[in-house]
Amino acid sequence: MTYLAQFENVTKRFGDTSILHNFNFEVTSGEHVVLMGPSGSGKSTVLRILMTLEGIQDGVVYVEGEPLWHEYRNGVLKPAREAHLRRMRNGIGMLFQHFNLFPNMTVLRNVIEAPMNVQRLSRTEATERADELLERVGMSNKRDAYPLSLSGGQKQRVAIARAMAMRPKLLMFDEPTSALDPEMVGDILEVIKDLAQAYDLTMLIVTHEMGFAREVADRVCFFCDGQILEQGKPETIFTEPTEARTRQFLSRVTGAKKAKVGSEAQS
């Protein structure tokens, strides 16, 4: 079987601290996988490695069967050159916590910039694609606005449209609601669920929104100390986890969520 993404005995260190240890992980085409776990467990590092934002010290990462951080030269696997990395990342999109929109560009320009410059689409083609996506995420009426005039939720909608404009085979979300006001969280999660249903996308999602994870995920992976401690279907992981560490994490996340909702109701 050829996976859309595969980690094979990957090790990632930051200085003397090892984040991933001989890490193995596969994602099949069209699968929606939620990664959860405590801070520092390695889940966001997996996304950043796939986006070529973080390199690796050992092992091999494959995207559609082709090495990501390596390339074959004269039949030998060597560290990848920049041209190889640029080509490989064209099919991968990522939504960051803090939007990362270009403040000097309108909403429309933010969405069409990469398709025009990277994929060499004409302005007409890129604009048609952008308008379709802005309509999908509910931002068509803001196409000529600048990011400074938008709310956090609106910025995230634009960021989603921008990521989708590249027609990625793999779309990744790193805590997509963590920088939003609480009342905006549900709206953004609905947009992501709509995209998951409407497009043939493979998704990797780091989130602590357990209700959302139950609805959108085909598989949930619990990370702990640079390894996947437990994984399975959402109904299994959330109702009958086998590992004590998973149960402890879910209890803390659920408890913190309830406490937050209670304090908001009183304020």
Q: Mark whether 153 and 193 lie in a shared domain.
A: no
- Nearest by Cα to 33 from 197, 231, 208: 231
Q: Mark whether 190 and 137 lie in a shared domain.
A: no
Q: Mark whether 66 and 196 lie in a shared domain.
A: yes
The β-bridge partners of 95 are: 173
Among the three residues 167, 194, 223, which one is the final residue of a domain in this structure? 167
Among the three residues 140, 167, 194, which one is the final residue of a domain in this structure? 167
The answer on pLDDT for 267 being more than 90 is no
> What's the confidence (pLDDT) of residue 1?
63
Total structural domains in the chain? Answer: 2
Q: Mark whether 256 and 134 lie in a shared domain.
A: no
Higher-confidence residue: 9 or 215?
9
The answer on pLDDT for 159 being more than 90 is yes
Q: Mark whether 176 and 162 lie in a shared domain.
A: no
> What's the confidence (pLDDT) of residue 262?
44
Residue range 178-205: mean pLDDT, rounded: 86
The answer on pLDDT for 195 being more than 90 is no
Q: Mark whether 177 and 256 lie in a shared domain.
A: yes
> What's the confidence (pLDDT) of residue 180?
81
Q: What is the mean pLDDT of the chain?
A: 90
> What's the confidence (pLDDT) of residue 106?
97
- Nearest by Cα to 170 from 194, 205, 146, 143: 205
- The domain containing residue 124 runs over which residues? 100-167
Mapped onto helix, strand or coil, the DSSP state of residue 122 is coil
Among the three residues 150, 167, 184, which one is the final residue of a domain in this structure? 167
The answer on pLDDT for 212 being more than 80 is yes
The answer on pLDDT for 135 being more than 80 is yes
> What's the confidence (pLDDT) of residue 257?
56
Residue range 242-257: mean pLDDT, rounded: 85
Q: Mark whether 87 and 106 lie in a shared domain.
A: no
Q: Mark whether 18 and 82 lie in a shared domain.
A: yes
At 90, is the pLDDT very low, low, confident or very high (cuts 50, 70, 90)?
A: confident
Q: Mark whether 262 and 176 lie in a shared domain.
A: yes
Higher-confidence residue: 184 or 44?
44
Q: How far apart are CA 5 and CA 28, in angstroms?
A: 7
Q: Mark whether 37 and 110 lie in a shared domain.
A: no
Q: Mark whether 162 and 176 lie in a shared domain.
A: no
pLDDT tens-digit series, residues 26-78: 999 999 999 999 998 999 999 999 999 999 999 999 999 999 999 999 999 99
Give the CATH number for residue 217. 3.40.50.300
Query: What b/e sequence results for 220-250 when a residue is b if at least 16 CB atoms lie within 10 Å of its CB, and e otherwise?
Result: bbbbbebbbbbbeebeebbeebeeeebeebb
pLDDT tens-digit series, residues 99-132: 789 999 999 999 999 999 999 999 999 999 999 9
Q: Mark whether 258 and 180 lie in a shared domain.
A: yes
DSSP structure class, residue 150: S
